[in-house]
């Protein structure tokens, strides 16, 4: 099921001095154990930029409904949504059902702006309301699926069932087994005729929480701090506003992202979203935890899904999904960037890994050798040892070979090392052989594997003893910036090149490919310095 093209009204809204492209509310869950703690958290929610607070009264210890709700609702600095979630729907309350519903009716009387009632008991709840309910309050009827995301047909029927209860606002929260599950929620959300909250839980559902602003969701949830979440995969308020520029996302916003697995460590969203904002470019850049590239590309085929970066382990799979491939990327056998040509919808694949990495290594060699650009590439004639034969390894092998270096490829699987080495007239080694490999001094070592990347930061691909034979060591890993490999290389006397330098050079090139605008180079450097 592909995400179809859609069209919503495009309007810029002006609220105070703020221009925004959507009216999606950011709701902050308040889940403290005491009323006093909730009051403190509500003020923080306002200070952080939230639009309303969800009072999760099922978290309160010794909850006294009339007393506590009166204080919370009347002293709230933001509009309030009262939720009293039972355990059978993923909440904390495990008591008498009639008392729970009575507390929600009381919240309505005391002036809550919204209350949430579960679909399972919605008919009974509405029937229990005494006559005309307060005009101010809106009732959200919710359904939570903690196992999967149903089909579009099933979701549409679910929306109809919720509407039939008399709900003012429909809420459906499902669980992402795969990132393509978000597309089904988007499909239902964009065609909904009533106000709707449609979210997908879990890390693979993150895009649903951010793109609610693009597809017309009524609200999205943002926690006060990381880990303090009311549902899996929930970003913080600050991430929604400062990292993903939530207020600036509209129906016509172009979607970009980095495709990988794992992906939570990526700094790319920080760099591109800050750059988009500074350049007034109407785009959003997301971390995309993808299991199968082909399925992802087929599912998100709408024109507004406009381009992607590729990282481990999907660089080679990405190439197979392209309609056209740049000759350099074809020679490398992997892509690092995919652009959708807007006029035809064709996907064009590029590999800019080698440009970013080789440029960073050459620059450091020139500095250490006192060479100039006019003297040619300092890589010429050098022995260039690459650890890893995946997409990044292929890119750097190709790039160094083009500069005149002698290539040696070391890989866990010898056959893969041999296959890559044969393409660049090089030599293949196993990783075990690498520790004893020393045909000469002053070689260059490049790690393109994830060894040493967060969270396994104490791992390294080679022994410290081996590093004394190298004059320069480059690690494509950039989280952390100073890996164990680079730390030990520096202690051994080698010049080191951070993976961030390759990343920065790539970012300059890729930003311009995505937007057609000059890259804000200093901003990109500043953002990366802050986030690493």
Q: Are 185 and 159 in contact (CB under 8 A)?
A: no
Q: Which CATH number does the domain housing residue 394 bear?
A: 3.40.50.720
Q: Give the active site residue among 51, 68, 116, 171.
A: 171
- Is residue 185 domain-shared with residue 315, that is, in the same domain? no
Q: Is residue 305 part of a domain?
A: yes
Strands 13-15 and 18-20: antiparallel
Which of 247, 278, 310 is the C-terminal boundary of a domain? 247
Query: pLDDT of 288-307, one tens digit each?
Result: 999 999 999 999 999 999 99
Residue 417, SS3? helix
Q: Could you tell me which residues are beta bridge partners of residue 55?
A: 30, 82
- Is residue 241 domain-shared with residue 285, that is, in the same domain? no
Query: pLDDT of 19-63, one tens digit each?
Result: 789 999 999 999 999 999 999 999 999 999 999 999 999 999 999
315 part of the active site: yes
Which region, left, alpha or beta, applies to residue 164 given φ > 0 means left and ψ of -120 to 50 means alpha?
A: alpha
Q: Is residue 9 part of a domain?
A: no
Query: pLDDT of 430-474, one tens digit each?
Result: 999 999 999 999 999 999 999 999 999 999 999 999 999 999 999
- Is residue 63 domain-shared with residue 199, that is, in the same domain? yes
Query: pLDDT of 333-374, one tens digit each?
Result: 889 999 999 778 999 999 998 888 999 999 999 998 876 766
pTM, entire model: 0.86
**How many structural domains does the chain have?**
3
Give the other-Cβ count within 10 Å of 86's Cβ.
17
- Is residue 382 domain-shared with residue 467, that is, in the same domain? yes
- Is residue 209 domain-shared with residue 295, that is, in the same domain? no
Q: Give the active site residue among 144, 270, 394, 481.
A: 144
Helices (H), 199-312: 206-210, 212-215, 237-238, 268-278, 293-299
Q: Is residue 262 part of a domain?
A: no
Residue 508, SS3? helix
Q: Is residue 281 part of a domain?
A: yes
Q: Is residue 258 part of a domain?
A: no
Q: Give the active site residue among 254, 267, 270, 315.
A: 315
Q: Is residue 260 part of a domain?
A: no
- Is residue 237 domain-shared with residue 97, that is, in the same domain? yes
DSSP code at position 93: B
- Is residue 127 domain-shared with residue 177, that is, in the same domain? yes
- Is residue 508 domain-shared with residue 489, that is, in the same domain? no
Residue 128, SS3? helix
- Is residue 185 domain-shared with residue 226, that is, in the same domain? yes
- Is residue 325 domain-shared with residue 382, that is, in the same domain? no
Q: Is residue 257 part of a domain?
A: no
Which of 213, 247, 281 is the C-terminal boundary of a domain? 247
171 part of the active site: yes
- Is residue 344 domain-shared with residue 356, that is, in the same domain? no
Strands 337-341 and 305-310: antiparallel
- Is residue 383 domain-shared with residue 473, that is, in the same domain? yes
Q: What are phi and psi of 522, to 5 degrees?
A: -65, -40
Q: Is residue 321 part of a domain?
A: yes
Q: Give the active site residue among 68, 113, 304, 353.
A: 353
Instruction: Give the residue numbers spanning the domain of 147.
Output: 23-247
Q: Which CATH number does the domain housing residue 292 bear?
A: 3.40.50.10860
């Amino acid at each position: 099921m592909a995400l179809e093209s859609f069209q919503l009204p495009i309007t810029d809204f002006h609220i105070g001095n703020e221009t925004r492209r959507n009216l999606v509310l950011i709701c902050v869950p308040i889940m403290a154990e005491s009323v006093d703690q909730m009051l403190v958290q509500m003020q923080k929610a306002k200070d952080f930029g939230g639009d309303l607070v969800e009072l999760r009264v099922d978290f309160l210890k010794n909850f006294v409904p009339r007393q506590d709700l009166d204080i919370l609702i009347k002293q709230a600095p933001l509009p309030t949504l009262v939720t009293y979630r039972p355990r059978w729907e993923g909440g904390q309350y495990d008591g008498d059902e009639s008392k729970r519903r009575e507390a929600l009716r009381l919240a309505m009387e005391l002036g809550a702006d919204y209350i949430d009632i579960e679909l399972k008991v919605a008919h009974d709840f509405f029937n229990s309301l005494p006559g005309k309910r307060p005009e101010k309050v809106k009732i959200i009827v919710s359904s939570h699926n903690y196992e999967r995301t149903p089909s579009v047909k099933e979701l549409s029927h679910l929306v109809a069932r919720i509407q039939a209860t008399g709900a003012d606002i429909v809420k459906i929260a499902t669980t992402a087994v795969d990132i393509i599950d978000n597309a089904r929620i988007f499909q239902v959300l964009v065609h909904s005729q009533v106000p709707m909250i449609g979210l997908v839980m879990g890390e693979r559902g993150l895009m649903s929480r951010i793109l609610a602003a693009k597809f017309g969701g009524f609200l999205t949830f943002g926690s006060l701090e990381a880990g303090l979440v009311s549902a899996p995969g929930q970003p913080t308020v600050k991430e929604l506003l400062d990292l993903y520029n939530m207020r600036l996302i509209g129906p016509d916003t172009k979607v970009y992202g980095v495709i990988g697995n794992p992906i939570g460590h990526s700094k790319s969203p920080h760099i591109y979203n800050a750059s988009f904002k500074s350049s007034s470019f109407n785009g959003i850049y997301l971390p995309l935890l993808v299991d199968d590239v082909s399925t992802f590309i087929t599912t998100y085929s709408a024109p507004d899904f406009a381009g992607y970066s590729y990282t481990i382990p999907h660089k080679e799979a990405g190439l197979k999904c392209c309609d056209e491939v740049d000759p350099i990327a074809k020679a490398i056998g992997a892509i690092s960037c995919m652009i959708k040509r807007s006029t035809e919808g064709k996907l064009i694949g590029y590999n800019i890994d080698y440009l970013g990495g080789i440029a960073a290594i050459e620059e450091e060699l020139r500095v250490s050798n006192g060479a100039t650009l006019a003297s040619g590439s300092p890589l010429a004639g050098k022995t260039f040892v690459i650890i890893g034969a995946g997409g990044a390894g292929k890119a750097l092998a190709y790039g160094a070979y083009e500069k005149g270096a002698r290539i040696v490829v070391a890989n866990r699987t010898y056959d893969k090392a041999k296959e890559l080495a044969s393409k660049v007239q090089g030599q293949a080694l196993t990783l075990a052989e690498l520790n004893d490999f020393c045909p000469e001094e002053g070689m260059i070592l490049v790690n393109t594997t994830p060894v040493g990347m967060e969270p396994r930061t104490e791992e390294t691909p080679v022994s410290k003893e081996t590093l004394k034979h190298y004059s320069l060591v480059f690690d494509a890993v950039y989280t952390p910036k100073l890996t164990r490999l680079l730390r030990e290389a520096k202690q051994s006397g080698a010049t080191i090149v951070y993976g961030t330098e390759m990343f920065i050079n790539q970012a300059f090139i890729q930003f311009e490919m995505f937007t057609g605008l000059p890259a804000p180079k200093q901003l990109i450097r500043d953002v990366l310095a802050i986030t690493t």
